[in-house]
Amino acid sequence: MLPQAELHVHLEGTAPPALIARIAKRNRIELPPGMLAPDGRFHFRDFLHFLNTYDLAASVIRTSEDYRNITYEYLSNVAREGGVYVELTASPDHAALVGLDDDAHYGGIAQGIDDARRDHGIESRILVSAVRNFGPEQALRVARRAAQRPHPYIVGFSLAGDERVAPAQFAPAYEVAAAAGLGCTIHAGEWQGPSAIREALKLPVTRLDHGARASEDPTLLHELAARGMTLNVCPTSNVVLGVYRSLSEHPLPHLHGSGVRVTLGSDDPPYFGASLAGEYALCAEHFGWSEQQLREVTAAAIDAAFCDEPLKAALRERLRAH
Ligand code: HPA
Ligand code: ZN
């Protein structure tokens, strides 16, 4: 198992239906109607419906212990399949909706990270994400709180949610996050095309989550490559949500072949039937990538990670020693 690293995965989105059901039971709440399909999987028709189902599942996650368990379960599973490093996208807005403050939220996640390291040797850090459709003012509040570093595992700032809300409005939030030394990334180029990606590039970001639709514009691809931007691409997510009809239409090989740095992410794994190791396997099977190419994906993720240099050096050594 080649060592893998993941920079694009949403924490609440890692919890499978069985874990959500267990947590709901423990919290003595009913499972939200409509959350699951008759076959027991998460139910959604399209991206906005997916976001809604995600919010329903998140609404049963109520305690610091819940966040600890979700984090621990996810990292343990990733480690069993060869994962060595994950940046978990946490959403304090989701935590606040159930009454959890930053200490309880990040404290629970950090406990899961520490326990997974102890039991499985995997490392992880936290990205604080704002939700686009909650608006720029709320994003600024989230960024200000993140800038105060409520937990030492917080290394970055990101923006998720409904991509139709344009990037430029979030410039104040990104300025605050970047000024505090947080690494910055943003969801772009999943649903919106090259012009929205160009707008996102005006923010102080070094990575894009998805970025796949940059493939529609050769000049933009050239610029992404020249700037050394890293695209955290999620092929299975893109196909399941209908950005592309099939893997054979997915532009990942084109992005990679244009000299753009790419990493692989599972996004919201049980929703999409995805996993980090599965994304690596898919690149080998469908795109014919060699082990050396997959190694370069992990190396690109370590390079683009927002953790400190000593941890990066340790991760590079793990990759080299494999
Ligand atoms: N995309 C955008 N926003 C999200 C996602 C996603 O996959 N998951 C949770 N919030
Ligand atoms: Zn995402």
Domains of the chain: 4-321 (3.20.20.140)
Mutation pick for ligand 1 pocket among 14, 89, 186, 187 (CB with most ligand atoms within 8 Å) = 187
Among 190, 223, 285, 296, which one carries the catalytic annotation?
190
Query: For 197-220, what is each residue's pLDDT tens digit?
Result: 999 999 999 999 999 999 999 999
What pLDDT was estimated at residue 295?
A: 98
Tell me whether residue 190 is one of the annotated catalytic residues: yes
pLDDT (0 to 100) of residue 100? 98
Q: Is 161 in the pocket of ligand 1 (CB under 6 A)?
A: yes
| Chain centre to alpha carbon of residue 124 | 12
Question: What pLDDT, on the 0 to 100 scale, is given for residue 34?
Answer: 97
Q: pLDDT (tens digit, 9 = 90+) per residue, 101-112?
A: 999 999 999 999
CA distance 50 to 56: 10
- Mean pLDDT (whole number) for 266-290: 98
Mean pLDDT, rounded, for 146-161: 98
pLDDT at res. 115: 99
pLDDT at position 124: 99
- Residue 54, ligand 1, Cβ within 6 A: yes
Q: How far, in Å, from the CA of 190 to the mean position of ligand 2?
A: 9
Residue nearest to atom 9 of ligand 1 (CA): 10
Share of the chain above pLDDT 90, in %: 100
- Report CA(223)–ligand 2 centroid distance (Å): 23
pLDDT tens digit sequence for 10-37 = 999 999 999 999 999 999 999 999 999 9
Q: Is the CB of 267 under 6 A from ligand 1?
A: yes
Mean per-residue pLDDT over the chain, rounded: 98
Q: Is 256 a pocket residue for ligand 1 (Cβ < 6 Å)?
A: no
- Mean pLDDT for 63-87 is 99
pLDDT digits (tens, 9 = 90+) for 227-250: 999 999 999 999 999 999 999 999
Q: What is the pLDDT of residue 237?
A: 98
